[in-house]
Protein backbone atom coordinates (compact mmCIF):
# COMPACT_ATOMS: atom_id res chain seq x y z
CA UNK A 1 0.00 0.00 0.00
CA UNK A 2 2.83 2.43 0.85
CA UNK A 3 4.53 1.66 -2.46
CA UNK A 4 1.35 2.53 -4.39
CA UNK A 5 0.98 5.77 -2.44
CA UNK A 6 4.60 6.74 -3.06
CA UNK A 7 4.30 5.85 -6.76
CA UNK A 8 1.10 7.86 -7.08
CA UNK A 9 2.63 10.87 -5.32
CA UNK A 10 5.76 10.76 -7.48
CA UNK A 11 3.64 10.57 -10.64
CA UNK A 12 1.49 13.48 -9.49
CA UNK A 13 4.55 15.61 -8.75
CA UNK A 14 6.07 14.77 -12.15
CA UNK A 15 2.84 15.65 -13.97
CA UNK A 16 2.54 18.91 -12.05
CA UNK A 17 6.13 19.86 -12.89
CA UNK A 18 5.61 19.04 -16.57
CA UNK A 19 2.36 21.04 -16.71
CA UNK A 20 3.94 24.03 -14.99
CA UNK A 21 6.88 24.01 -17.42
CA UNK A 22 4.56 23.78 -20.43
CA UNK A 23 2.40 26.62 -19.12
CA UNK A 24 5.45 28.83 -18.58
CA UNK A 25 6.58 28.22 -22.17
CA UNK A 26 3.11 28.99 -23.54
CA UNK A 27 3.04 32.35 -21.74
CA UNK A 28 6.47 33.38 -23.01
CA UNK A 29 6.27 37.09 -23.70
CA UNK A 30 7.11 38.41 -27.12
CA UNK A 31 9.20 41.55 -27.44
CA UNK A 32 7.42 44.86 -27.07
CA UNK A 33 6.85 46.50 -30.50
CA UNK A 34 7.98 49.90 -29.21
CA UNK A 35 11.25 48.45 -27.96
CA UNK A 36 11.78 46.51 -31.18
CA UNK A 37 11.26 49.63 -33.28
CA UNK A 38 13.59 51.65 -31.07
CA UNK A 39 16.29 48.98 -31.29
CA UNK A 40 16.05 48.54 -35.07
CA UNK A 41 15.65 52.23 -35.95
CA UNK A 42 19.33 53.12 -36.25
CA UNK A 43 18.73 56.55 -37.86
CA UNK A 44 16.06 57.42 -35.23
CA UNK A 45 13.41 58.57 -37.72
CA UNK A 46 10.74 56.38 -36.03
CA UNK A 47 10.46 54.01 -38.99
CA UNK A 48 12.42 50.95 -40.11
CA UNK A 49 13.85 50.80 -43.61
CA UNK A 50 14.52 47.50 -45.37
CA UNK A 51 18.25 47.95 -44.75
CA UNK A 52 17.69 48.53 -41.02
CA UNK A 53 15.36 45.52 -40.91
CA UNK A 54 17.87 43.25 -42.62
CA UNK A 55 20.74 44.54 -40.47
CA UNK A 56 19.12 43.59 -37.18
CA UNK A 57 16.51 40.94 -37.90
CA UNK A 58 17.70 37.34 -37.56
CA UNK A 59 20.40 37.51 -40.18
CA UNK A 60 21.73 34.13 -39.18
CA UNK A 61 18.32 32.48 -39.03
CA UNK A 62 16.74 33.78 -42.25
CA UNK A 63 17.92 34.26 -45.79
CA UNK A 64 17.93 37.71 -47.38
CA UNK A 65 15.00 36.68 -49.56
CA UNK A 66 12.98 35.57 -46.53
CA UNK A 67 13.73 38.84 -44.73
CA UNK A 68 12.68 40.88 -47.78
CA UNK A 69 9.47 38.87 -48.09
CA UNK A 70 8.67 39.37 -44.40
CA UNK A 71 9.40 43.10 -44.66
CA UNK A 72 7.16 43.47 -47.72
CA UNK A 73 4.34 41.62 -45.97
CA UNK A 74 4.64 43.88 -42.91
CA UNK A 75 4.88 47.09 -44.98
CA UNK A 76 1.13 47.30 -45.58
CA UNK A 77 1.20 50.78 -47.15
CA UNK A 78 4.14 49.76 -49.40
CA UNK A 79 6.12 52.94 -48.69
CA UNK A 80 9.37 51.09 -47.96
CA UNK A 81 9.28 51.90 -44.24
CA UNK A 82 7.80 50.03 -41.28
CA UNK A 83 5.96 52.10 -38.70
CA UNK A 84 5.04 51.25 -35.14
CA UNK A 85 1.46 50.67 -36.29
CA UNK A 86 2.63 48.13 -38.87
CA UNK A 87 4.70 46.36 -36.19
CA UNK A 88 1.67 46.22 -33.90
CA UNK A 89 -0.59 44.98 -36.71
CA UNK A 90 1.82 42.15 -37.45
CA UNK A 91 1.93 41.21 -33.78
CA UNK A 92 -1.88 41.03 -33.60
CA UNK A 93 -1.96 38.99 -36.81
CA UNK A 94 0.57 36.48 -35.45
CA UNK A 95 -1.28 36.27 -32.12
CA UNK A 96 -4.55 35.55 -33.93
CA UNK A 97 -2.98 32.69 -35.87
CA UNK A 98 -1.47 31.24 -32.68
CA UNK A 99 -4.86 31.24 -30.95
CA UNK A 100 -6.43 29.18 -33.73
Query: Is the pLDDT confidence value at 7 over 90?
Result: no
Residues 9-26 have a mean pLDDT of 52
Please list, in sequence order, all residues whose beta carbon lies within 8 angstroms of the beta carbon of residue 71, skipping any fewer than 6 positions away: 50, 53, 54, 82
Residues 24-31 have a mean pLDDT of 57
pLDDT at 23: 45
Going by pLDDT thresholds of 50, 70 and 90, the confidence category of residue 84 is very high
Range in 5-14, 15-24, 63-72, 82-91 with the lowest mean pLDDT: 15-24
pLDDT at 54: 85
pTM, entire model? 0.61
Amino acid sequence: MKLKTITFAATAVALFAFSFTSLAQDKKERPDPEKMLEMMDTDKNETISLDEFKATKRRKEMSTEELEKQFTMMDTDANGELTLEEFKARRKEKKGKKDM
